[in-house]
Copies of this chain bind each other. A is one copy, B any other.
Amino acid sequence: MAQKFEFKVAATDGAARTGVISTPRGEIRTPAFMPVGTAATVKAMLPESVRATGADILLGNTYHLMLRPTAERIERLGGLHKFMNWERPILTDSGGFQVMSLAALRKMSEEGVTFKSHIDGSRHHLSPERSMEIQRMLGSDIVMCFDECPALPATDEAVAKSMRLSMRWAQRSRDAFGDRPGHALFGIQQGGVNHELRGESAEALRAIGFDGYAVGGLAVGEGQEAMFGVLDYAPGMLPEDKPRYLMGVGKPDDIVGAVERGIDMMDCVLPSRSGRTGQAFTRRGVVNMKNARHQDDPRPLDGACTCPACRQYSRAYLHHVLRSQEIIASMLLTWHNLHYFQELMAGLRGAIAAGQLAAFVAGFHAERAQGDIEPL
């Protein structure tokens, strides 16, 4: 195991890169997709099953964990890895994004944000310093700067003002994080869809210096075209020798487009959340397993997929347990979706290493264009 946090690019293909992030808790093959383990569990999955899908790293949510069971409790119990039985790397977000989307009665200032818990109404505070403290108590391997993420669309003026606040918070995060060998702190670029503001943000972050850099403030309603528009230039503004992380992305075609544009890490609740509602991601697009056309279908969801849901069950069974609201439906479809996402990442890594990314991407789109198999 590496004793420190390191990133090595092994191969590039256009703007895309593949490599390895080494940490004391294990290696992360990039481009990497990080399943989301919001409340110290990837919903409906045992950690060993998440690992079996090919995940090298999980994401934990600071906002949820600070409210329940609390960071102090997790620290007393030996940290998040031990608590949730996942010994490999964990990235934690800063809590800022979810304060904005989930908490009640938020009060923002230069210092930080005060809010009420969506669970029990209790009052809490987050600031760069407090976020660093919480993420340290959790034992996170990759810590994110505390930032503000304005919803798009927003005026350039609002985006600029928010971005500059986030850059001051980035400096405070850096100062509060201190020196923690083997642990990484990532800065977060803001600036919305404005090229100039993205550049200003990147410069501010480079001046502070981080172990990795996130492209923040995307996947918040701007649409894929606008997001790709930003990704055409934003990753190139960030240091080439550090990992670049696109937060909260995304659908399989978002992931492919982001990797083509130089992104190394991503996270999204989509495969797990969709699994629980019966949406299955496949090579041939999204399949709604609740649809009655599956009720007599003895074929697997995807005959080429090697996950347990596809190897051991029929579409008819998956449909039945979904309709019956059985827990096994969430278990099997989440497993399938995470497996599919990790298989996609493995395919992207292999294609970049072989200098065949364009052909891989063409194949990806061609397979999806075929659509789901016909009903019997």
Instruction: Enumerate chain A interface residues (CB-CB to B < 8 A).
Output: 39-41, 43-46, 68-69, 73, 76-78, 83-85, 295-296, 298, 308, 312-314, 316-317, 319-321, 323-324, 326-328, 330-331
Contacts and interface: CB of A to CB of B under 8 A. Distances in A.
B296 A73 contact: yes
A372 B165 CA distance: 53
B316 A69 contact: yes
Nearest to A84: B317
- State the main secondary structure of chain A at its contact with B: loop
Given A44-B328, A69-B323, A327-B331, 8 more contacts: A39-B324, A41-B328, A46-B308, A46-B328, A68-B320, A83-B316, A84-B317, A85-B313
Contact of A83 (B41, B85, B314, B330): B314
A256 to B, nearest CB: 29
Contacts of A41: 321, 326-328
A326 B43 CA distance: 7
B73 A324 contact: no
Contact of A324 (B68, B76, B330): B68
Contacts of A312: 85
A54 to B, nearest CB: 19
A331 to B, nearest CB: 7
Contacts of A76: 296
A273 B84 CA distance: 24
A279 B326 CA distance: 20
Copies assembled: 2
Contact of A68 (B296, B314, B323, B331): B323
Contacts of A77: 296, 298, 314, 316-317
B328 A330 contact: no
B327 A43 contact: yes
Contacts of A83: 314, 316-317, 320
A308 B49 CA distance: 13
The 9 closest A-B pairs by CB, nearest first: A44-B327, A69-B320, A41-B328, A85-B312, A39-B324, A41-B326, A77-B316, A77-B298, A83-B317
B298 A40 contact: no
30 contacts: A39-B320, A40-B320, A40-B321, A41-B321, A41-B326, A41-B328, A43-B326, A43-B328, A44-B327, A44-B328, A45-B328, A46-B308, A46-B328, A46-B331, A68-B320, A68-B324, A69-B295, A69-B316, A69-B319, A69-B323, A73-B295, A73-B316, A77-B317, A78-B298, A83-B314, A83-B320, A84-B317, A85-B312, A327-B331, A331-B331
B39 A326 contact: yes
- Residue from the set A40, A41, A43, A45 with the largest chain B CB neighbour count within 10 Å: A41
A312 B84 CA distance: 9
Nearest to A119: B324
Nearest to A314: B77
Contacts of A308: 46
A6 B321 CA distance: 33
